[in-house]
């Protein structure tokens, strides 16, 4: 074997072998789809789209023109067959709406929140450390004006090697006083996976 062939072979082998090592790296938050499941970028895009749509909705305009309405964000329902952390999604929606400065928020929907608040108030007052004139009394919390709720649903079709997965996030903002729906919007995601001819 010539010396140049040996060197080339060595470089080639080194380059190929480098692919056998396990690598860990940080990646951008918004990646291209890797699976047909709900992925982090789908959640992020949905939250962004929904909050932008809500903030510029004509129905919302009359509520926010001269005051900051009090809003509660209920955890969205997961009607799909896969596990999706809907509380995390709800938290992200709340966070983005909160940063807009157009709404005030209460948290009545999270499990145990109301009971926790009552328990904390009682605990504070019973310890005897608080000035009775400054003690917080139950029954003074801000009343709710509107609440935001929604659902995630899916349709899945498998045809031979092709899996077609459709997701729909739908959200509504409801006026508690009148019962009217002030805003509603949807975010649709469709993904397709084709299995290779060989393999599984």
Q: C-beta of 132: minimal distance to other proteins in Å? A: 41
- Using the rule CB under 8 A, is 101 a contact of other proteins? yes
Counting residues that bind other proteins (by CB under 8 A) gives: 37
Task: Give the residue, chosen from 11, 118, 136, 155, that forms a contact with other proteins under the rule CB under 8 A.
Answer: 11
State the Cα–Cα distance between residues 100 and 93, nearest whole angstrom: 11
**Nearer residue to other proteins within complex by CB, 3 or 83:** 3
Residue 55 lies near other proteins (rule: CB under 8 A): yes
31 counts as binding other proteins under rule CB under 8 A: yes
The token pair at 120 is 């904390």
Site map 119..158 versus other proteins, x via CB under 8 A? ----------------------------------------
Alpha helices (H) along the chain = 3-17, 40-55, 58-64, 86-100, 113-127
Stretch in the footprint of other proteins (CB under 8 A) among 13-21, 118-126, 149-157, 168-176? 13-21
**What residues contact residue 156 under an 8 Å CB cut-off, 6+ apart?**
81, 163, 164, 165, 166
On the 0-12 / 13-18 / 19+ scale of CB atoms within 10 A, 4 is exposed
* 70, 86, 102, 172: residue in contact with other proteins (rule CB under 8 A): 102
191 touching other proteins, by CB under 8 A: no
Q: How far is the CB of 55 from other proteins (least distance, A)?
A: 6
Q: Minimum CB separation from other proteins for residue 97, in Å?
A: 10
Residue 67 binds other proteins, judged by CB under 8 A: no
∠ CA 67-140-100, rounded to 5°: 30
- Please, which residues have CB within 8 angstroms of residue 151's CB and are 6 or more apart in sequence? 76, 77, 78, 79, 169, 170
29 is an interface residue for other proteins by CB under 8 A: yes
Phi (first) and psi of residue 99, to 5 degrees: -70, -20
Q: Can you tell me whether residue 128 is helix, strand or coil?
A: coil
Return the ∠ at Cα 98 (arms to 92 and 103), rounded to 5°: 130
Which positions touch other proteins (CB under 8 A)? 1-2, 5, 8-9, 11-16, 19, 27-32, 41, 44-45, 47-49, 51-52, 55-56, 60-61, 64, 95-96, 99-102
């Amino acid at each position: 074997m010539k010396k140049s062939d040996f060197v080339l072979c060595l470089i080639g082998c080194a380059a190929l072998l480098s692919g056998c090592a396990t690598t860990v790296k940080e990646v951008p938050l918004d990646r291209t789809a890797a699976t047909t499941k709900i992925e982090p970028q789908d959640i992020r895009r949905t939250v962004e789209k929904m909050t932008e749509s809500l903030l510029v909705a004509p129905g919302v305009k009359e509520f926010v023109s001269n005051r900051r309405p009090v809003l509660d964000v209920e955890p969205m329902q997961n009607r799909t067959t896969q596990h999706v952390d809907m509380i995390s999604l709800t938290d992200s929606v709340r966070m983005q709406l909160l940063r807009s400065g157009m709404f005030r928020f209460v948290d009545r929907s999270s499990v145990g929140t109301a009971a926790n608040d009552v328990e904390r108030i009682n605990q504070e007052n019973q310890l005897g450390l608080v000035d009775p004139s400054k003690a917080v009394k139950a029954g003074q919390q801000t009343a709710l004006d509107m609440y935001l709720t929604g659902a995630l649903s899916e349709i899945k079709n498998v045809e031979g090697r092709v899996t077609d997965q459709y997701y729909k996030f739908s959200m509504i903002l409801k006026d508690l006083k009148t019962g009217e729906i002030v805003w509603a919007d949807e975010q649709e995601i469709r993904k397709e996976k084709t299995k290779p001819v060989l393999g599984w």
